[in-house]
Structure 1
Amino acid sequence: MGRLAADTGYVLLTLPLAVAAFVTVFTLIAVGISTVIVWVGLPIMVAGLFAARGFATAERQRLNKLNGTPIPRGAYPPAPGDTGALATRLWPLRQAQYWLDALWTIVGFVTGLLAWCVSVVWYAAVLGGLTYWMWQGFLPEGNQGLAELLGIGGRLGDTIINTAFGLIALVTLPWVIRGAAWVHAAPADLLLNSQASLRQEIDTERATRLAHQDAEATALRRFERDIHDGPQQRLVRLSMDLGRARKQLADDPERAAATIDSALQQARDTVDELRSLTRGIAPPLLVDRGLRVALDEVVNRAPVPVMLDFDVESPLSPAVETAIYFTVSEALTNVAKHSLAHRAEVTVVERDAVRLDVTVSDDGMGGAHEAKGSGLRGLRSRVEGVGGIFDVDSPTGGPTTLTASLPLL
């Protein structure tokens, strides 16, 4: 019933708004075009385009209430800062969206008239058919009804036929009104929102690419720092130990043997540290045996008990698999370091045919926030870098829930 009321309210307002928009915009633009030769037509045309923008904005608000269609941002980009005063005032004449708004006043007049007429006729059929028995007696005598024309009876037949028509119209009313609303709303959404929506998608794609590049640059800088602070220093010490052992070999073989043993330990430690660092680039278990096995290994080595719920059947791209692996790994590391949690839960499930959700929750003390450190910001960059959405819910006192929604491909 609420859907029918919303559709009805939308359709019944279409004609008055469409008439007002058509008359106002068409008149201003027509006058502007006819007087453009004397330049006064240009500001008149601009006024017409601004009027079209006002009606378009009102229609976007109506679409939002009708279908939840988001109102696009940036539908009317301002003139560049270095644009002159006259060019700035005439800027709408160079913007496609203003002209699409003006076109909508024409298209909307046609679709609005059609939708309004269909709706009024259908409501009239419902009310007229179901109340025919009430006002039938006011018809003049000798009036030939539909039943009599069909040869199936007099007034009683007319009452049955009209009531049947009224019931049919009542049953089909929600679909008819919904269709009438769609006839008007579909071209409105196409003309008023498609360009801005496309621009938003481009901006989102650009932001995603930049986030991915930032995440890669941050990871590379961290890797370089780790190499410098860890294996490089060990290799320097190894070189010094081997040089000292060479000098000691002739004079003090025992000390030389001890130095060589120390150098061997340095070599082993360096190999272990390099192996640990390379896990942050491409975990061998993830590459060789897949995401499920890699996540099992992450969960098993976590310092707190972790329950894993994994339900993903669709194939994933390597970038998405890597993002999921490190999101879970780094989130569990944060749980161990900061949350004082007794247990945690990891869920990786397909939401629908195009996205999956990754959730890491714990029963710790909460209070996690991106402003407190770079860890959560790094996770956000990693998730957004593959086109995902990242969110953290961590009230003081807990629990903490980290959610990442990622594309399947």
Structure 2
Amino acid sequence: MVGIWSLRPTLRRRLRHGLDAATTFVRANCPDSTRTRLRTALAKQEALRRVAMLVAHGTTPPSETFWVVCRELGGLLDADYAAIARFEPERMMCHLAEWNDPSVPAMGVPFGGRWPMGDTAAAAVYETGRSARRASGSTAGELGEWLRSHGVSQVVSCPVIVHNRLWGELALRFLGSRPAPADTERRMGDFVELVACTIAQAEYRAELIASRARLVTAADAAQRRIERDLHDGAQQRLIALGLYLREAETNASDENEALRRSLSSAAKCQSDVVAQIQQISCGIYPTTLTQMGLKGAIKSLVRHCPVRTDLHIRIDRRLPEPAEITVYYVVSEVLANVLKHANASVVHIDLVATSGDDLRLTIRDDGVGGADLRRGTGLIGLQDRVDTVGGTMEVSSPVGGGTSVVVGIPSSALDDPQGRP
């Protein structure tokens, strides 16, 4: 289908004028019943469009999208309440979202947000996989009493199917004696599909983040092994070789000055190689994190950076290892990019991670800018790390305006179950 905005402006104007004329004609010549049906259809399409835009955007939290679905559907079908619940094992339901018409009081969430299906409309959906409606008077148990205590007379429930599995329900509740319209289930269908799309998106993103986390964890484990092998293997042998060379230099006769100089040069070369291996090992896996903590490790990076760095750190505790490693690698990679590409005179680093608050890392330079994640500047690999801890990373790098990298990690990811000091 060709979108109206892809057409030429003159043609768009003609179409708009034609639609306006058609609308005027319908209003003037169609009977009231036809106009009512048209208004109903247009209202539904407009509500669907609003929800579809929210789902297509892909960044709105599912809980917010669920509430918007409840609001749009409940308002469209003149329901008093709308709710979304997930089915769980042992015929239990978990409340996820609820909306009420402004003219009626909120029902609240019963039983701590999790309750048995009993013989409700949801139970019929669970058993058959099809839409169902129930009068609250025929619903037994505490849930039936709760519905009746709020004046609910009827509940209409539609199944939410995600990847060919029954996931949960979208339900409408009606007060008083008026029954739900006969076509309620049919009109709920399109909204149910949008709920399913939202859930599928959330599950896909969760699976993607989990996959990235497994890759990052495996890479870190491999780096630890390489660092350990270098330290316990090649580095130790080189240190032993250096001792032998120094001993040979000491034992060389005074008359053989050329040999002494050669041995001294070899020992110096060995010492340089050991220092280089230590530097490589630190780059493979940041052992300084274990030895000095995040604050000390970042200060060590800054000390070895030839570009003037303005550093401000406010951390009141040790963070979980994944969060510390993520922050360390971000600082390390950004400083490396500053040296290679930015031609900057100063770098500003601000890190804040206090109890109960989100972590925020901001790195800014006054260089040439123009950094692009798509060009493989080294920043692209950091996005996976940030995603695995539930964080966000924003890069702003206008040409000639320097580069700014902002990383945020939610406080929920900073609660260390190991209780690190």
Q: Which TM-score applies when normalising by structure 1? A: 0.48
Higher helix share: 1
For CA contacts below 8 A with separation 6 or more, give which structure has more relative contact order. 1
Higher strand share: 2
Higher Rg of the two aligned structures: 1
